[in-house]
Amino acid sequence: MSKFPFEVQTEEIQPLSVLSPEGEIVNPDMVPDLTDEQLKEIMYRMVFTRTWDDRAINLGRQGRLGFYAPVSGQEASMVGSVYPLQKEDFVVPAYRDMPQIVWHGLPLYQAFLYSRGHQHGGQIPEGVNVMMPQIIIGAQILHAMGIAMGFKLKKQAQVAITYTGDGGSSEGDFYEGLNFAGAFNLPVIFFVQNNGYAITTPFAKQTNAKSIAHKSVAAGIHGMQVDGMDVLAVIKAVQIAAERGRKGEGATLIEALTYRYRPHSMADDTTKYRTKDEEAEWAIKDPLVRFGKYLEKKGLWTEEDTARVKDEAKAKVNEEIKRAEKTEKMTVAGLIDSMFETTPKFLEEQKADFQ
């Protein structure tokens, strides 16, 4: 009987950190090359995103938004992962990843229209390389494979980045995507925001793997784990992954260790599955506080700057939600028309009932 030859593949993956919780550089060799203006822009986006999140939660409670997944705590992972991308790169998000596509070019009022269930919310402007957030867990990952395959076939030095959470890494689409990306050496980044819970299920009950990043080994792609509360570490990780993709070196799986300070959604109660001690432990790692301390020590940011950005964000959010609310309301007939290039006869008959 012949034996099947095989080699056991193992890989140690150490988490990447650049900043300590006190805002001190702990890994000078991995500090991304950024100008002072870029550093301030990153902080601006993080403060804006948290302020927007606060306002969006209130809008949801007022019935002015539909489904909304809070993002506070994950700003470093979100802002940091999309910041190094080029305009031509493609962002393929999950349901919590609205900040990434807005910072990649989607107008904020369209993000609100999407949450309100309006068809115009999904009409992406020409030249904005994003997909709309996918509600079906993990389904967006395979869409990113097609985009990345297109980049490869056209010999374009671009990358696609697709997002999911720790819960999404248990879906079949996730493993199909990893395998496909490895088999075809695709320029794609799998960015997993591991915030510790798949709604209420803790990460320890989701997998027996050492980490999500280790799942890259079986797929034959590069794997990295990063401190997702450290925006400089996230930027560096994505820079490395994007450069690999552009050079034809294939896909990268990045696991960002982060935490959501708010509920999973507006229908969630975190007191049912998280402790106050755990929340306090993660509060010390607040990405805005950490990066803010770093910038303050460099003389680039003050508390007055934070207050100014909050005011600007509140005004912008109010302006954009009003614009969304003034958009012509959808009709049932319009909904049917938006689904088909040529409307089937039986639906034309149904449309007549609503006109």
Catalytic residue among 50, 96, 118, 264: 264
264 is catalytic: yes
Catalytic residue among 50, 260, 274, 290: 260
* Letter string b/e over residues 314-327, b meaning 16 or more CB atoms within 10 A of that residue's CB: eebbeebbeebeeb
* Letter string b/e over residues 265-279, b meaning 16 or more CB atoms within 10 A of that residue's CB: ebebebeeebeeeee
- The helix/strand/coil state of 131 is coil
Instruction: Report the alpha-carbon distance of residue 10 to residue 249 in Å, rounded.
Output: 20
Instruction: Report the alpha-carbon distance of residue 258 to residue 184 in Å, rounded.
Output: 30
Nearest to 206 by CA among 137, 114, 299: 137
260 is catalytic: yes
Per the structure block, which two tokens stand in for 328? 């012509």
Q: What CA–CA distances, in Å, run from 198 to 228, 295, 331?
A: 17, 33, 35
Per the structure block, which two tokens stand in for 217? 């080994």
273 is catalytic: yes
Looking at the DSSP bridge assignments, the partners of residue 188 are: 160
Catalytic residue among 64, 120, 273, 323: 273
Instruction: Report the alpha-carbon distance of residue 271 to residue 309 in Å, rounded.
Output: 31
Just list the catalytic residues. Answer: 260, 264, 273
